[in-house]
Structure 1
Amino acid sequence: MPPKEPPKERYIPNALKFAFGGGAGMAATCVVQPLDLIKTRMQLGGGNLSSFKVASEIIAKEGFFALYTGLSAGLLRQATYTTSRLGVYNWLFDSYKQNYGGTPGFGIKAALGVAAGSVGAFVGTPAEVALIRMTADGRLPKEQRRNYKNVVDAILRIIKEEGVLKLWRGATPTVIRAMVVNAAQLGTYSQAREWFVGIVPDGIQLHFCASMVSGLVTTIASMPVDIIKTRIQNAAKGQSQLSVVTSILRNEGVFSLWKGFLPYYTRLGPHTVLTFIFLEQLNTVYFKFY
């Protein structure tokens, strides 16, 4: 009897890795967009309202569907940012395995996450700026609202009224935040997944447990940079980035950098869970049929 050939290693083309990453992020955003809006409103507000109070005020004053304000910008952000970061991360991960053999350790995973996140953040900053402004608009007096119709209208008006470079307003803290998020999120997800193997059944349960651990670590590490980024991107024309940061620290204190922890984690945790679940399912479908 001739010896059996070893099974071929399963492989997904790089182009599909990018597409699957973006598609998974966009699907997750459709579910958690209201949490993203609530998080942004809390980060921009000066009070200490709970996330439930903020949500109820939005519904009372602007209607239920106002919770989905900025969805088009959120989808574009995922199409640019998540497509880039997950695609680059998977490409770097596979390249490491091919060149050095074996699965990279936690430190390498975190480094790959930092590199992937910085690329994705720079690509996704224009959509991020539009998203922050659209989700923040409802808290302004009517005469001060920008009233963007959708993400395309927002981007075109920003270019026309403020110049094309304003699409990358806050790019530095956005990139820093992404580096922190991806080092924590992608690195801890892979590590947590290895920890839970053998303890939690493989499949959605395993992805859920690993993602919730990843989301918690990521929230704690990235919230301060996220709040600074949000304030800078929503700042009035002519206000410097340094003045935004000093104003937060002087008027609200250091602990305000973790304002909105619950909606941030409630948004990031499920988004992380859903993104990786959708991604794993897309990979499974590809391997099943191709």
Structure 2
Amino acid sequence: MASTNQQVIPNGFKFLFGGTSGMAATLFVQPLDLVKNRMQLSGEGGGQRMYKNSFQAISTILRSEGVVGIYTGLSAGLLRQATYTTTRLGVYTMLMDKVSKKDGTPPNFFTKAALGMTAGAIGAFVGTPAEISLIRMTSDGRLPINEQRGYTSVFNALSRIIREEGLFTLWRGCGPTVSRAIVVNAAQLASYSQAKQVLLGSGHFRDNILCHFVASMISGLVTTIASMPVDIAKTRIQSMKTIDGKPEYTGAINVLTRTVRSEGIFSLWKGFTPYYFRLGPHTVLTFIFLEQLNKLYRKFA
């Protein structure tokens, strides 16, 4: 992702291309994000699981909420990419340029991981308000009608959260969100760069869409395995309601311990299939769009 050619791209365009790439990818994978969130909340607290697997979840949602229902929360997903992905990819590419050698040689894997963690933490803080809106909008359909929040768009969600629960509620779950982002970006950005570097060095790949696809799928698998426990803690904290003035969970550790105790250790990877098939293609599409935008800029600008 770092080269002598890429260094001529202005920083503003790096942020723009990062956000645009993430938003374009979200248009394709939003239904999988919805399924992932619903499955992570299914069986919460040891209750009955709503879905046995991803296919049942998709068919149930389609049957009860229609085709439009599988795109519930799209506006929040797009805003999340516009804030979180714009920031993290913009910061990451800027930092990569600064630490790369003058001949364009990229830094080692551990440096890439550190840069990914830094970029992810900053991006997660900026994107938390959109994240909490996305979690609530995608999980709303699993609740009884009288308990649904009924947000009509991400902007309606943000305004109502501020009005009904206070401004700082927009950053509820910021700790696990930032922690998840650190894990995701250390794994995703570093493993993508490293996988791409190894593939190109093998002599069997050229710097084209096929190489980007294979590197992204490898990156997506590594990221899914590493980040799911933190992700389920984040999802449940941001979806929880306050009952009699007390929140359902006191923090990420409380979520993880209660989840393991009532649902088993493997429940921390609940929703693995939709998570990977959401994260894998999203990673693929984001980096493909990003690489193509960079090439178009270098060609025409």
TM-score between both structures, scaled by the size of structure 1 = 0.95
Identify which of 161, 164, 186 aligns with 2:164.
161
Question: Structure 1 CA distance, aligned partners of 2:74 and 2:25?
Answer: 12
- Alpha-carbon offset, residue 41 of structure 1: 0.4
Runs ≥4 residues deviating over 4 A? 98-101
Identify which of 20, 38, 44 aligns with 1:23.
20
- For structure 1, the 5+ residue unaligned runs are 1-7
- Alpha-carbon offset, residue 202 of structure 1: 2.6
In structure 1, the partner of 2:120 is 117
**Does residue 35 of structure 1 match 2:40?**
no
In structure 2, the partner of 1:5 is none
Question: Structure 2 CA distance, aligned partners of 1:241 and 1:229?
Answer: 12
Across the aligned residues of Structure 1 and Structure 2, the Cα RMSD in angstroms comes to: 1.5
Q: Judge conservation of contact 2:25–2:286 (CA < 8 Å) in 1.
A: yes
- Alpha-carbon offset, residue 98 of structure 1: 5.6
Question: Structure 2 CA distance, aligned partners of 1:210 and 1:101?
Answer: 20
Identify which of 217, 220, 234 aligns with 1:212.
217
Question: Structure 2 CA distance, aligned partners of 1:244 and 1:189?
Answer: 30
Aligned length: 283
In structure 2, the partner of 1:13 is 10
Q: Judge conservation of contact 2:5–2:298 (CA < 8 Å) in 1.
A: no
In structure 1, the partner of 2:94 is 91
TM-score between both structures, scaled by the size of structure 2 = 0.91
Letter in 2 for 1:261: F
**Does residue 286 of structure 1 match 2:297?**
yes
Q: CA separation of 1:101/1:205 partners in 2, compared to 1, >3 Å: closer, same or farther? A: closer
Letter in 2 for 1:254: I
- Answer with 195-204 or 148-157: which moved more: 195-204
1:174-193 alignment, distance < 5 Å: 174-193=177-196
Q: CA separation of 1:215/1:105 partners in 2, compared to 1, >3 Å: closer, same or farther? A: same
Question: Structure 1 CA distance, aligned partners of 2:255 and 2:163?
Answer: 24
In structure 1, the partner of 2:154 is 151
Deviations 1:173-204 (A, max 9, x none): 00000000000000000000011112123311
In structure 1, the partner of 2:78 is 75
- Answer with 197-206 or 33-42: which moved more: 197-206
- Alpha-carbon offset, residue 99 of structure 1: 8.1
Letter in 1 for 2:193: S
**Does residue 45 of structure 1 match 2:42?**
yes
Question: Structure 1 CA distance, aligned partners of 2:101 and 2:158?
Answer: 40
**Does residue 241 of structure 1 match 2:246?**
no
Q: Sequence identity of aligned pairs in percent?
A: 62
